[in-house]
């Protein structure tokens, strides 16, 4: 546990449904993959072999509409 986290932050995380945390994990992965591909395209540098390559192409990530339908997960 982070010693800098206050009680409210801890309670917020503890109260999150597992479904939301799983969703956020998946979202973080696709953001990472999209960013790696985007910056790789402009830098011309390959992804180092010690890192997991993205699952999809940059074209795939560019077709995802934004803002995406988050299904009310963020209090909407």
pLDDT digits (tens, 9 = 90+) for 45-69: 999 999 999 989 999 888 877 665 5
pLDDT digit string, tens, across residues 10-58: 777 777 777 777 878 888 998 999 999 999 999 999 999 999 999 899 9
70 occurs within a structural domain: no
76 occurs within a structural domain: no
- Tell me how many domains the chain contains: 1
Mean pLDDT over each residue of the chain, to the nearest integer: 80
Q: What is the DSSP letter of 57?
A: -
The pLDDT score that the predictor gives to residue 26 is: 85
The pLDDT score that the predictor gives to residue 14 is: 73
37 occurs within a structural domain: yes
User: Where in the sequence is the domain holding 40, given as residue range(s)?
Assistant: 7-62
Q: 19 to each of 2, 8, 29, 39, 68, how far by Cα in Å?
A: 23, 20, 16, 30, 17
47 occurs within a structural domain: yes
């Amino acid at each position: 546990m982070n010693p800098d986290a206050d009680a409210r932050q801890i309670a917020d995380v503890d109260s999150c449904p597992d479904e939301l945390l799983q969703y956020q994990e998946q979202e973080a992965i696709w953001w990472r993959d999209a960013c790696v591909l985007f910056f790789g395209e402009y830098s011309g540098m390959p992804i180092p072999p010690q890192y997991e390559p993205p699952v999809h192409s940059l074209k795939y990530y560019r077709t995802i509409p934004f803002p995406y339908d988050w299904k009310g997960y963020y209090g909407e």
